[in-house]
Structure 1
Amino acid sequence: MKAVYVAVMAAAGIVMAGQAQADEALAKAKNCMSCHAIDKKLVGPAYKDVAAKYKGDKAAPAMLAAKVKAGGKGVWGQIPMPPNNVTEAEAKKLVAWVLSQK
């Protein structure tokens, strides 16, 4: 039984790692990484800082997905984030990935 548990956990880890890589690839494909980085501020905030700011905020995913699509300004400084050419599903996926950063 212990071997089955270990195998299941290992498989889950591989799937989760693959998903995280796919989500990072989406961020790169949509040019998010031109202004953002995971662990340091570029033009926009670091994704780890965004995740920390909105940790536990149940309204954050929907609000941030809307900002990814429509753009926004004023929360992280004076430089606005432009609207992005992403679908609703892509915006939600990107936000879930950003909020998972630690």
Structure 2
Amino acid sequence: MRNQSLFKLILLAALGFTAQSALADGAALAEKGSCLMCHTIEKRNVGPAFKDIAAAYKGQDVEEKLINKIKKGGRGSWGILPMPANEGKLTDDEFREVVRWIRSL
């Protein structure tokens, strides 16, 4: 029984570390993709704060929509300034990680 509890504890710690690592990767990828030139986590800059984006889309199935928006750019969703296209700055998997990181905030 003690071994089973120890195993569960180790498994939970490993899962927590993996989740934290993925979140850190998302933040690093946001920097790599130049997202932080216009966005911050907490406050509006040129573009909306990542926390505001996460709140606006909470509970919605919009992962692909957000990936597409980041890649292709767009206008009108968050004000008058258009978001430039970012295709080619990151891979599709990296864009997905950035979106998942933003939505986790």
Q: Where does the alignment leave 5 or more consecutive residues of structure 1 unmatched?
A: none
Q: Give the superposition deviation at 1:5.
A: 1.1
Tell me, yes or no, if structure 1 residue 26 matches structure 2 residue 45.
no
Identical pairs, percent: 39
Task: Provide the C-alpha distance between the structure 1 equivalents of 2:54 and 2:16, rounded to a whole number of angstroms.
Answer: 21
Tell me, yes or no, if structure 1 residue 97 matches structure 2 residue 101.
yes
Aligned-partner residue type, residue 89 of structure 1: D
Task: Provide the C-alpha distance between the structure 1 equivalents of 2:31 and 2:93, rounded to a whole number of angstroms.
Answer: 16
Which stretches of structure 1, 4 residues or more, deviate above 4 A after TM superposition?
none
State the TM-score, normalized to the length of structure 2: 0.88
Q: Where does the alignment leave 5 or more consecutive residues of structure 2 unmatched?
A: none
Task: Provide the C-alpha distance between the structure 2 equivalents of 1:76 and 1:18, rounded to a whole number of angstroms.
Answer: 30
Task: Provide the C-alpha distance between the structure 1 equivalents of 2:33 and 2:73, rounded to a whole number of angstroms.
Answer: 14
Larger relative contact order (Cα-Cα within 8 Å, sequence gap ≥ 6): 2
Task: Provide the C-alpha distance between the structure 2 equivalents of 1:96 and 1:22, rounded to a whole number of angstroms.
Answer: 10
Aligned-partner residue type, residue 8 of structure 2: Y
Select 2:19's aligned residue among 13, 16, 19. Answer: 16
Per-residue deviation, residues 29-65 of structure 1 (Å, max 9, x unmatched)? 111011111111111111111111001111x111111
Partner SS for 2:65: helix
- In structure 2, the partner of 1:38 is 41
State the TM-score, normalized to the length of structure 1: 0.90
Maintained 8 Å contact 2:39/2:46: yes
- In structure 1, the partner of 2:58 is 55
Q: Give the superposition deviation at 1:18.
A: 1.2
RMSD value, Cα: 1.2
